[in-house]
Structure formats: C-alpha cells, structure tokens
Chain A
Amino acid sequence: MQMPPLDPDILRRRGEIVAALKAIVPGEGVIDDLDGMRPYECDALSAYRQMPLVVVLPETVGQVSAILRYCQDHKVKVVPRGAGTSLSGGSMPVGDAILLGMAKFNRVLEIDYANRCARVQPGVTNLGVTKAVEHEGFYYAPDPSSQIACSIGGNVAENSGGVHCLKYGLTTNNLLGIEMVLMTGEVVRLGGKHLDPGGYDLMGLMTGSEGLLGVVTEVTVRLLRKPSTAPASLGKPSSTARAADCVAAVIASGIIPGGMEMMDKDAVQCAENFVGAGYPLDAEGLLIVELDGPPVEVDYLVERVAEIARGRGATTVRVSRDEQERVLFWAGRKAAFPAVGQITPDYMCLDGSVPRGRLVEVLGEMRQMSKQHRLRVVNVFHAGDGNLHPLILFDANDADELRRAEEFGADILRLCVRVGGVLTGEHGVGIEKRDLMGVQFTEIDLDQQMRVKCAFDPDHLLNPGKVFPKLRRCAELGRVTVHDNKIPFPDIPRF
C-alpha cells in the first residue's frame, strides 16, 4: 500500500507541534511516546500499520477547533478517528499526520422522545444510542456488525449500514443534524431537529465522506419506535441460485423484510461452531429473513415468505419462536466474520454491492476465481440489498498468499463494477479500495469529487492518502479554460 511520501519538514518540527498541541489540550490528552501511540497504529484493517506523528484526544469542541486551526495555519495533516473499527483503513494513521481521536466525546446530550431524536457526542457507540433509549421502547436503526464498538461519529464518516438497511436505510437516512468543525476551525451546525436543509444538503455530503471534509463533534439521530414483534425465519435453500431467486421473489411480491441475509455453506458451519445458533449443518446455504411489525402482520408475512421459500425449493423453513431465538438466529450471522477466523489464520473482508439480479452470476464467477487464485472464499452477505461480503481466506505470514489475496479481492470488486455494482456498499473506500476507484469512475468524475474536497480543505490536510488514488492540487483543479467564443454553436435545436 503506497502512502504519500512523508514531509521531512513536518517530521523535523515534531517537537514544536507536540508542544503546540499540549498547549491546546492539557494533561494526558496528547500522547507522543511510542508505547502510548501503539494502540493507534492501525484500525480494523489490521494488515496495514503505521505509527502517527502524535495522538491527540481533545475533550471539547473548542479544543477540536483550535487543533484544526493550528493544523491549517501550520500545514499539518490530520487523521480523524472514532473507535478505529474501519474495515477499509479509513482511520489508519499517516506518519506525518496528527491522529485526532474523538473517543472522549462519549456523552448522550439529550433525548427527545416527542420529536423522536437524540443528540449525542460522536464517540458514543452505535449500540450506546439504542441502549440509552430502549427502556422507552425506542432504538436507532442502523446496526453495523461492529455496533458494540463503532462510534456514531465514525458511522457518519462512513455512512454505515447494517443488516436492516433495506427497510430502514443507512446512516444518511437516519440523521437529523450534525455539528462539525472545518479545517479553518470554524464550527458549523447542519440540520437540527427538523427535516431537510434549507440550502445545499451539506449533511448528506458529509455522511460517508470518510473524514476528508470536516470533524463531526455532535450528531442528532432519528429514533424509531421498536416494532412490536420481529421474528426471523431461517430458510435452507437447495442451492445459492434458488436462494437468490427466493430473495428476488420476496421483494417482487411487495414485501420489504426488516433484514434478509445469506450465508454460504462454509459460513454456516463456522458460525454454528462459534455460537451454536442451531443452523442446519448440512445446508448448501442459509437465508435469514427478518419480518417486523405488529404480530398479525408478521404472522401473515412469515407465512407468505415461507410459501415463497418452499415454492423455490427451500428444504427447511424455521421461524423463531421468541425473542431469545430470534437473537440467536442473528447471533450466528453477526458473529460470522470472527467465526471464520476458526478455519483460517487471516481473512480479507470485501464489501461490493451488485444488483440483486446478478447475485448468482457473481457468486459463480467468484468460485471460478477462487480456483484461479488458489484461495478459498466464504460468502456472507446482505442479500436484500445486494451487498456482498466475500471473505478471502489466507495466511498473512505467507507473502505470496497475501499478494494473491489482494489480487483476488481486486478481481472480485472489478467484477462487481462490471455487472453494474459498486466497489463498496458500506465499508468505505479508505486505503483499501483507493487504487480501484478508477475502475468505477473516470478521471473527470474523480476530479469533480476532489474539487468538492477543495471547497472544504484546500490544502488536502484532512485524512490524506485516503479515497483518491492520486491527489491533484486544488489550484490546478480550480483553473477554468475558456476558449473565448472559439467553440461554434453545436448542431442542436434552438428557438
């Protein structure tokens, strides 16, 4: 992984930068010793490691503002970090950049049930929001698998999803407001407790911008009332093709399940060994469908889904009898990634999205590629929205296997784009998919995105080396070439 070359001048000025940060954040908020910085050397994409210049953990918005203003004035790069659970290297440190950790912003500031929203600091965990309101029957809908650890601020940066997106949307569909600090140190508020912005939707732009545009210091999320029941059905399809067919048929019949997940044979076996969810071990694959709503609706829909599944060759259909069993059904799915760790020293988790109609074809080609690259692949995915999570199994101690795994991963993502999908459905581009951006976008597409970046961060100081395969200077991007009337009017109807 090629990162931008380190700036020797910044490295030389490290002492001065540390002193300036200590003046802004007193006490133990600045970590500059190697042992102290070690925990920050990577995020959840742990194949790549790098020590930051220095770690700073501010506690107030004023401190964040002063840090960014200092960095802007002195042209020091900044990598923002929430809980460090990014699977794409979104918060991987950069050697000549400050690592700005937001973990101390961990308070729930306000819960407003009448307006169905909560105002929280960005370091609050995703699950922490639901925990704060569930006694009143409410919850926060997006539920990435890392929800026990990942922070809301990180969710905003990555536009995190989860297993219930098809029905309840991603982070971007569940935000009402944010407060953020710009590189200039200016603090701005977008949205609030009301819906939609009055001008350009800057909150929508910020969501999923991977920490490249600003640092979020407060988030107002939409709360939902918990559905009265939510049983999950487990279907055991006779083949993956039949399973994919089943998914399409459920949606075509007008049912939008709360969640619809598929696991292939290997994933089922690993998950079953790991948590004992009661999954059938002889299954070619498993389809988990969650239906939520009032009991009568769920009973009605469960029956219709079961009928569709049986009509398409599912050999077993099971419905969870109670909340405990529902949680158990999901436990296997949610633990699928760590469970796969039982059968491999390392795995690489990918995250492409494809049109549902191309699922079978994509899975088939992936099996072919698996032979070519001589590496196993296990599939766990959000079938309802076509978001794939292939896990490539390899041994990181074997340099050749690591190289083959990277090539295999890139091939899978190219395949996703070729069938009309995208490089990443919910994990973000980060450093992981950065160099593949050209597969999905033209240079013009990327230049336009970079110009938007320039509107926020003209010196490319925020989260450098992420998302864009090659950076162009803002001054160069901003130049307009006008040919002074030398272009004749094209042959277009004119009145």
Chain B
Amino acid sequence: MAGTIRPRSPEELRQAVEWALNAGETLDVHGTGSKLDLGKPMRCDQVLDLSGLSGIVDYAPEELVVTLRAGTAMREVEALLAQRNQMLAFEPPDLGPLLGRAPGEGTLVGTIMGNFAGPRRLSAGAARDHLLGFSGVNGRGEAFKSGGRVMKNVTGYDLSKLLAGSWGTLAVLDEVSVKVLPAPDQTRTLLLHGLGDAAAVTAMCAAMGSPHEVSGAAHVGDATALRVEGVAPSVEARVKGLRDLFSSVEMKELGTLESRAFWREVRDAVPLAAAADDIVWRISCAPTDGATIVARIKATRPAAKAFYDWSGGLIWLALPASDDADHALVRAGLAGHATLIRAPATVRAAVPVFQPRPPALAALTARIKESFDPMRLFNPGRMGPS
C-alpha cells in the first residue's frame, strides 16, 4: 500500500519531488483522483496528493485571466467565474458519472492534464488553447515556469501546450494561469429530426460552414443539435438563418435553460453513462469521416452505440464488454486518434489506452519525457510504455 504525501506549499512540493528522486520512489500525482480510472493503470511507490495546494491566487475579469493553485476544484473555479458572468470557454467535461463516480469531483488542472474539451471545442478550442502559463516542478526536483498571464506570448517554447494533455507525466504543476471569456447572454439550440448519421454529419458540416457561428454541433439518437450563443438580437437572427438553411427538415427549438441541460449531457457523455459494463471510446477524426467510422464498427459489432459531437469529428462509442476493448477494430485505418475512456483495469492494462504513434514519434515522445523527468518518477506508464 502506497503512502501519501500532501505538500502545502510550492516549496514543499519541490522538496517532495527532490526526496522522491533521491529515494528512487515513483509518484502517482493527483488532485482529487477523479480520473484515476482513466489511462493506463499504474503501480507507484507514493501518492503525491495536490489537494493541499488549493485556492484562487488572482482573478482579473477585465484581463480575462484567472490564476489558481493546482489542487483547486473545478466547481470552485466555475462558481467564481459565474459571479462575473464569465466561463471556461472550452467547456470542460465532467466525466465523473461516466466513470461511475459522483459528479463535480475533479480539478481544473486535472482537466488540463487530459486536455479535455466539450462541445465548444469547435469554436473556442480545447484546454490547451486556454492555458496561458504555469509553474511547477520537473523530475529533477527543480521549480520552473513557462508562459505567463498575458494573452499574447511567444517568449520561449510554449511548454503549456506540451503540459496540457501530458497526464501528469512531465512535471507536477503547482500554479496555472488560464484564459477565461464572457459567458453568452443567450443560448438556443435547433434540433433537426429524422436525419440518419450520414445526413446528420452533412447537415452539421453545412451549419459549421455557414456564417451563423454555430458553437455546438452534435448528433444524439434521432436529434441533430445546432447551438447558437450570444446577445439576443444576434441569436435571433442566426437561428432564423439556420432555420432557412434546413427548411425542409422537421425541427424543434430549445431555449437557454433547456439548451444548457442538453449540451451538458453531450459534454459529459451522459447518453453512454448508464450501461456501466460497456466499454467507452472517444474518437477524434475529420468530421466527414465520423459516420463512416461508426458504420464500419457497427458492421462487426451491431450492438455498438454511438453519438457524435464536434460536427461529427468526435465520436463517443460504446461497445459490449470484451477483453481487448476491440481496439484493433476501433483503430483500423483511423485517421485521427481513439482513446479508451472506460474499461476495467485489466483491459486498460492489456491494450493501448492512447493512440499508438509511429516509431519516429514514439521515440521523440520518449526523449521529451526524459527531458522533463529523466528518472520516470511521475505517473510511470500512465500513457503507455515510453
């Protein structure tokens, strides 16, 4: 049974890593542990618990930036921003319920470490696009920083991009600065009915290519949903524009509150949460490939269930339980990447959870890991062998 180390300051964090380096102890780095069932299972000597490094350091709404400690709960950040009518525009998902946990458990930094994003990824970017800078500790026990608190910054390498999506394998962060944006006054959703998967993807791509600034395009069950956000007169005009574009299709409209509930479900993959034994994949592909990929998988696994976000470019796929999660089938000929989101630990241990990379990239990835964490202290094996 691993012990837990819980630093209370950036200096204690640095000391803990320095100690681990010298003692040769590996560290399972986590905030609240809400995503421990995601990624490759690990066996570490110690748990490095960041919940002692928590709280907002600075929030400047007119600068569009918030600075906070790594252990700060997502709930706390979202509540703070809501007071000033602002938001994390990348719409961070809460995968708790999908992973069989309570909702609202995670930290913002945990979401950044997985580079997650919700439906607004299409127009606003992912977590990577909102991390302005950070400070933390590398695997040599050295405190370092990168980026800053300003919107435009090209001073030195953009290590924020590298850290976002690194699943805690490169460095342990103690503080991040994140870009925030005004929350929209109004949200409306147009639901088109009766389109099959292929027709739905075509419709979503047409909507995204229209001047109506669609900020969410998902196809769930029978409904193809297009979201429009902004100030009232604009939302009105754009919804009308979309109605005209799809005048031959049966449609329904959701107002602001109904829209929020709908898109939260898309964001958190709620349609796939209930069947707890199903294996769940998240596949990123070119939007126009979405329906074809699902049709190909369904030809072999008719019981597969899927819904689409990102105009068809994000497939949430549920498959019946199996020992290999059908990973070869899911990834056959895929131009994009597939991540195994939900599966028993034995399955995640046996198959690649993250998209395998060609040899030159895998070697480069290993060298980058080494440049931050030469002794492989942080989350060893979390992203697979490297």
A115 / chain B contacts, CB cutoff of 8 Å:
205, 286-288, 313
Stretch at the interface among A268-276, A403-411, A484-492: A484-492
Chain A residue with Cβ nearest B84: A252
| Nearest residue, chain A, Cβ from B171 | A448
Give the residue name and chain of the A residue nearest to B236 (CB). A296
Are A455 and B364 interface neighbours, CB within 8 A? yes
A448-466 at interface with B (beta carbon < 8 Å)? 448-449, 451-456
Q: Considering only CB atoms, which chain A residue lies closest to B183 in the complex? A: A254
- The verdict on A422 contacting B212 (CB below 8 Å), with A182-B360, A495-B4 known, is no
What does the 1/0 interface line of B175-191 toward A look like (CB < 8 Å)? Answer: 00000011101000000
Contact with B along A115-134 (1 / 0, CB 8 A): 11000000000000000000
Question: B358 contacts the other chain (Cβ, under 8 Å)?
Answer: yes
Establish whether residues B181 and A256, one from each chain, have CB atoms under 8 Å apart when the complex forms: yes
Given known pairs A195-B310, A225-B210, A451-B371, the reply for A300 and B288 (CB within 8 Å) is no
Could you tell me the distance in whole angstroms from the C-beta of A234 to the nearest C-beta in chain B? 22
A199, B161: Cβ atoms closer than 8 Å = no
Q: How far is the CA of A249 from the CA of B182 in the complex (A)?
A: 13
B165 touches A494 (CB 8 A): no
Q: Are B156 and A386 in contact (CB under 8 A)?
A: no
Q: Is B368 a contact partner of A455 (Cβ separation < 8 A)?
A: yes
User: Can you list, as one digit per residue, whether each of A410-426 has a CB less than 8 Å from chain B (1) or not (0)?
Assistant: 00000000001111111
Residues of B within 8 A of A428 (CB): 154
| Binary CB contact string for chain B from 1 to 26 against chain A (1 if under 8 A, 0 otherwise) | 00111111000100110110111100
Q: Which of A462-493 contact B (CB under 8 A)?
A: 467, 478, 480, 482-490, 492-493
Cα of A124 to Cα of B266 in the assembled complex, Å: 38
Q: Contact between B154 and A492 (Cβ–Cβ < 8 Å)? A: no
State whether the Cβ of A385 lies closer than 8 Å to any Cβ in chain B.
yes
Task: Find chain A residues with CB under 8 A from B62 CB.
Answer: 248-249, 251-252, 356-357
In the bound complex, residues from chain B placing their C-beta under 8 Å from that of A194 are 284-286, 313, 335-337
Whether B355 is near chain A, meaning CB under 8 Å from some CB there, is yes
- Check B154 against A424 for contact (C-beta < 8 Å): yes
**A166→B148 contact, CB < 8 A:** no
Among the 9-residue stretches B99-107, B124-132, B246-254, the one with 4 or more Cβ atoms under 8 Å from chain A is: B124-132
Q: B241: which of A294, A427, A455, A487 is its contact (CB, 8 Å)?
A: A294
Residue among B22, B182, B209 making CB contact with A116, cutoff 8 Å:
B209
A251 to B18, CA, bound (A): 43
Task: Please report which residues of chain A, range 213-259, place their CB below 8 angstroms from some CB of chain B when the two chains form the complex.
Answer: 225-228, 248-249, 251-252, 254-256
Residues of A within 8 A of B68 (CB): none
Q: Is the CB of B288 within 8 A of A421?
A: no
Q: Of A297, A490, A494, which one neighbours B233 at CB under 8 angstroms? A: A297
Neighbouring B residues of A456 by C-beta, 8 Å: 364, 367
Q: Does B42 contact A (CB under 8 A)?
A: no
Q: Are B8 and A493 in contact (CB under 8 A)?
A: yes
A161 touches B4 (CB 8 A): no
Interface centre among A199, A251, A294, A421 (most CB of B within 10 A): A199
Question: Given A188-B364, A204-B128, A385-B152, is A355 in contact with B60 using a C-beta cutoff of 8 Å?
Answer: yes
Which residues of B88-140 have CB atoms within 8 Å of chain A's CB atoms?
Answer: 115, 117, 121, 125-126, 128-129, 138, 140
Chain B 350-379 near chain A by CB (<8 Å), digits 1 or 0: 000011011011001101101110110000
| Bound-state Cα–Cα, A444 to B143, Å | 8
Check A322 for interface membership: any CB of B closer than 8 A. no
- Tell me the smallest distance from the CB of B63 to a CB of chain A, in Å: 5
- CB contacts (< 8 Å) of A184 on chain B: these are 360
* Residues of B200-233 whose CB lies within 8 A of A: 202, 205, 208-213, 230-231, 233
| Chain A residues positioned under 8 Å from B345 (CB to CB) | none
Assess whether B237 is in contact with A199, with CB atoms less than 8 Å apart. Answer: no
With the chains together, A182 CA to B367 CA distance in Å?
A: 13
Residues of A contacting B231 in the complex (Cβ-Cβ under 8 angstroms): 297, 300-301
- A424 with B155: CB separation less than 8 A: yes
Max chain A C-beta neighbours (<10 A), residue from B8, B125, B153, B162: B153
Q: Which of A225, A300, A492 contacts B15 (CB 8 A)?
A: A492
Contact check, A201 vs B212: say whether CB atoms are below 8 A apart: no
| CB-defined contacts of A341 to chain B, threshold 8 Å | none
A482-B21 contact given A173-B125, A294-B212, A492-B8, CB 8 Å threshold: yes
Q: Does B342 contact A (CB under 8 A)?
A: no
Q: Out of A137, A170, A454, name the residue touching B152 (CB < 8 Å).
A: A170
State in angstroms the CA–CA spacing of A190 and B165 once bound together.
Answer: 15
A451 adjacent to B372 (CB under 8 Å)? yes
Q: Are A205 and B365 in contact (CB under 8 A)?
A: no
Is B161 touching A186 in the complex (CB atoms < 8 A)? no
What residues of chain A lie closer than 8 Å to B185, measured between beta carbons? 254
Q: Let me know if A196 and B18 touch, CB within 8 A.
A: no
Using an 8 Å CB-CB cutoff, how does the interface string of B285-301 with A read, 1 for contact, 0 for none?
A: 11111000000000000
Asked whether, in the complex, the Cβ of A294 is within 8 Å of the Cβ of B155, the reply is: no
Question: Chain B 139-163 against A: per-residue CB contact (8 Å), 1 yes, 0 no?
Answer: 0101111101111111111111110
Residues of A within 8 A of B209 (CB): 113-114, 116, 138, 225
Shortest distance between the CB of B214 and any CB in chain A (Å): 10
- B64 sits at the interface (CB 8 A): yes
Tell me if A151 counts as interface (CB < 8 A to partner B).
Answer: no
A333–B275 Cα distance when bound, in Å, is: 58
- B164 close to A201 (CB less than 8 A): yes
- The reply on A81 being an interface residue by CB < 8 A is no
Distance (whole angstroms) from the CB of A430 to the closest CB of chain B:
10
The 5 nearest A-B residue pairs measured at CB: A204-B161, A198-B337, A297-B234, A198-B355, A193-B286
| Interface CB pairs A-B, < 8 A, 10 | A114-B205, A169-B129, A193-B289, A195-B314, A198-B355, A296-B236, A297-B233, A422-B148, A492-B12, A492-B16
Having A182-B364, A196-B337, one finds 12 other A-B pairs with CB under 8 Å, namely: A116-B205, A169-B129, A182-B360, A187-B360, A192-B336, A196-B121, A225-B211, A355-B63, A385-B151, A478-B374, A487-B19, A494-B6
